[in-house]
Amino acid sequence: MKTQEKEVQQMSSLFTSAYRSYAPGLNAFASLRVHNQELGEDLVQDTFIKTWAYLVKNGKIEIMKGFLYHVLKDLIVDEYRKHKTTSLDAMIENGFEPSIGNISRLANVFDGRNAALLINDLPRKYQKVIHMRYVQDLSLEEIALLTKQSKNTTTVQAHRGLAKLKVLYNEHHPKKDRRTF
C-alpha cells in the first residue's frame, strides 16, 4: 500500500511541476492555433486532464513536454473538426437576412414530386432507367452495370425516357398551372 501511495505522490509532483513549467507555453500555443484565448485555455486544461488520466492508467511518458504538445495538437484538431454552431443573432449582426418563405423553391419541390409520380406512366424500359437516374441518383455507368446493358444504350434510354416524361408532364399540367419543365 505504501509503495502505491508513494507512486501516486511521485506522479502528482511530476504532474504539478509539468503544469507549472509548460502551461504558459501550451496556453500561448493553443490560443494562437484556435484564435481564442478562452478556448485555448480550455483545451490546455483538457490536455492536462487527459495526461493525468493516462498516468493514472499506468501510462509511461518519456518526454512530458512532447507528450503534452501532442495531446494538445490532437485536441485542437478535434476542435476544428467539430461542427460549429452559430447563433441566429450573430448571423444577423454579420448581415444574414433569413427569408420567411421561398415560393419558387416550394413550387420546384411540388413539380418534382409530380414528375416523379409520372415516371410510372412511362413505358417499362424507360421507367426503370429514369427512376434509377433521377430518383436514386445513380450514374449512367452504375445503371448500365445494374441493367446489364451498354452505357450507350442506357444513355439513349435515359434521354428518350426524359423526353417522354416531359410530354407526359405537359399533358397533365396545363400551361397556366405549370412551371417550365
pLDDT of residue 82: 83
Cβ contacts of 168-177, under 8 Å, gap ≥ 24: 168/118, 168/121, 168/122, 169/114, 169/115, 169/118, 172/114, 172/118, 173/114
Distance of alpha carbon 141 from alpha carbon 152, whole angstroms: 9
Q: Report the alpha-carbon angle 34-39-40, nearest 5.
A: 65
Neighbours of 71 (CB within 10 A): 20
What is the pLDDT confidence band of residue 176, given thresholds at 50, 70 and 90? low
Q: What are the start and end residues of each CATH 1.10.10.10 domain in the chain?
A: 109-172
Q: 4-62 pLDDT, tens per residue?
A: 788 778 888 888 999 999 999 999 999 998 888 999 999 999 999 999 899 888 888 88
Architecture of domain 109-172: Orthogonal Bundle (1.10)
2-92 CATH, one of 1.10.357, 1.10.3470, 1.10.1740, 1.10.1760: 1.10.1740
CA–CA separation, 45 and 41 (whole Å): 6
| pLDDT at site 114 | 73
pLDDT at 156: 93
pLDDT 10s digits, 113-127:
777 778 888 888 888
Q: Note if the pTM is more than 0.85.
A: no
Question: DSSP string spanning 13-49?
Answer: HHHHHHHHHHHHHHHHHHHHHHT-HHHHHHHHHHHHH
Sorting pLDDT into bands at 50, 70 and 90, what band is 146? confident
Residue 100, pLDDT > 70, answer no
Q: Please state whether 18 falls in left (phi above 0), alpha (psi between -120 and 50) or beta.
A: alpha
Q: Which three cell numbers stand for residue 152?
A: 450507350
Q: What's the mean per-residue pLDDT of the chain?
A: 83
Q: Is the dihedral of CA 107, 173, 113, 152 positive or negative?
A: negative
Q: Average the pLDDT over 85-99 and give the result.
A: 70
| Residue range(s) of every CATH 1.10.1740 domain in the chain | 2-92
pLDDT of residue 71: 95
How far apart CA 137 and CA 129 sit, in angstroms, is 11
